[in-house]
Amino acid sequence: MFIGAGIIVGPGEPTFIHLVDPSEGTELLSRLGIVLLLFFLGLEFSVGRLTQARRMTLVGGGVDLAVAGGGAVLIALLLVGPGVEAVLLAGLVYISSSAVITRALFDFRRLADPETDMVLGTLLFEDLAIALFLGVAAALASGRAAGPVEIAGTALLALAFVAAFLLAARYAPRVVDRVADRLEREQLLLATLALAIGAAALAEAAGLSEAIGALLAGILISESEIRDDIEQQLIGLRDFAAGIFFFSFGLAVDLGRAGEVAGWLALGIPVAVLTKVAGGFVAGRLVGLTKRRSLNAGTALVARGEFTIILSKLAAGGVALDAAFREDVAIFAGVFVVATTAVGVLMMRESRRAGRVLFPSARPRDPSESRST
């Protein structure tokens, strides 16, 4: 919705309502939106959850990486050939939207369903994988990593950065809770914002993406006693920041140029949707879910969103990348996100009905499968 609003009132096609132009102000708000959105996503995923659901996380994430990630690599190679551009394009095609999917799971009342643990585990696996990938992607786009040695060094730096935060996350909650007891509510909220922005700045200073730091800052305090209070107090700011982030991205999308990437969209959207559904289905069967629940899991992973946009912004601003690719990737990502989100949410809503048609059974139906959504 916010991307659509940005497209409509922005400078690109359609031009009948042109109210806002991209500026330093919208870029600053967009960066703040990235930080807060990723910070709140980090709050949803904890090291404890990763440990408890490690089988579903590893199986779901591993199969998803092999099937959907492999499909994304194939798409990228076919569209732009081998090179740095293919790496970035594969990343933005592969990664699901944790924000859209977790919201849809809540709206469709599926948080308690058996397959949801695997869906959330897969998203956690992707989030940690993208935290590593973002560091490499930022270095590749800027030209800081021009060879195998530089790329390996950047990957090791990103790995060390993530590992340090995950290690700290095991002990941070006790320290955070002690400090929080001594702070007034306003002081606590300001300290939380300082943590998110400070971690993003630290990641950027280390040559990585600010999104890595924000995500890991959220994970750092995800198991603290103040987590729920922080979410309740800052939920309005989170929604505002996310809206600004998506709106700002929409301003840069010119639908008048969509024809230039029609081939990309014709190949990318169907393959991206089908590989997510297939990967989720296979992973669900491997962890013992029924065929219907495995289909539910696969359709839940289709939507793309914030990470695709972050990577497209990196690519569009990458001075080391081909100029034509930089121009095309923003319009591709905009339409790709809108299309996969719409298709993904629709498929999620209809997956139970589709499962009963595709996999009929003489056994009594699971009551949760027959609930209306």
CA distances to 98, 105, 286, 299 from 55, in Å: 19, 21, 10, 20
* Mean pLDDT across the chain: 82
Q: Which pLDDT band holds residue 372 (cuts at 50, 70, 90)?
A: very low
Average pLDDT for residues 99-118, to the nearest whole number?
Answer: 85
pLDDT in tens, 128-160: 788 778 777 777 777 666 566 666 777 787 788
What pLDDT is recorded for position 14? Answer: 67
What is the pLDDT averaged over residues 288-301?
94
- The answer to whether 97 and 341 are in contact (CB under 8 A) is yes
Question: Which of the four pLDDT bands, split at 50, 70 and 90, describes residue 165?
Answer: confident
Least reliable range by pLDDT among 105-119, 279-293, 346-360: 105-119
pLDDT for position 204: 80
Nearest to 214 by CA among 236, 233, 241: 241
Task: Give alpha helix (H) positions in 184-316.
Answer: 185-205, 210-220, 227-251, 262-286, 291-300, 306-316
The encoded tokens of residue 140 equal 């590749």
Q: What gap in Å lies between CA 348 and CA 295, rounded to an integer?
A: 9
| CA dist., res. 162 & res. 169, Å (int) | 11
Question: pLDDT value at position 363?
Answer: 56
Tokens of 186: 């306003």
Q: How many C-beta neighbours within 10 Å does residue 324 have?
A: 11
Q: What pLDDT sits at residue 46?
A: 65
Share of the chain above pLDDT 90, in %: 25
Query: Which whole number is the average pLDDT over 287-309?
Result: 92
Mean pLDDT of 197-213: 81
pLDDT-derived band at 355 (thresholds 50, 70, 90) equals: very high
**Gyration radius of the chain's alpha carbons:** 20
Structure tokens, 354: 């589709």
Q: Stretch 188-199: mean pLDDT, rounded?
A: 87
**Per-residue pLDDT, 346:** 94
How is residue 177 written in tokens? 């809770």
* Residue of 49 and 113 predicted with greater confidence: 113
pLDDT of residue 373: 44
174 closest CA partner among 224, 209, 219, 231 = 224
| Residue labelled with tokens 């499968």 | 369
pLDDT single digits (tens) 30-81: 778 788 888 887 887 666 666 666 788 899 999 999 999 999 999 999 999 9
Please check whether residue 360 is in contact with residue 117, taking contact to mean a CB–CB distance below 8 angstroms: no
Hey, CA dihedral for 346, 348, 353, 356, is it positive or negative?
positive
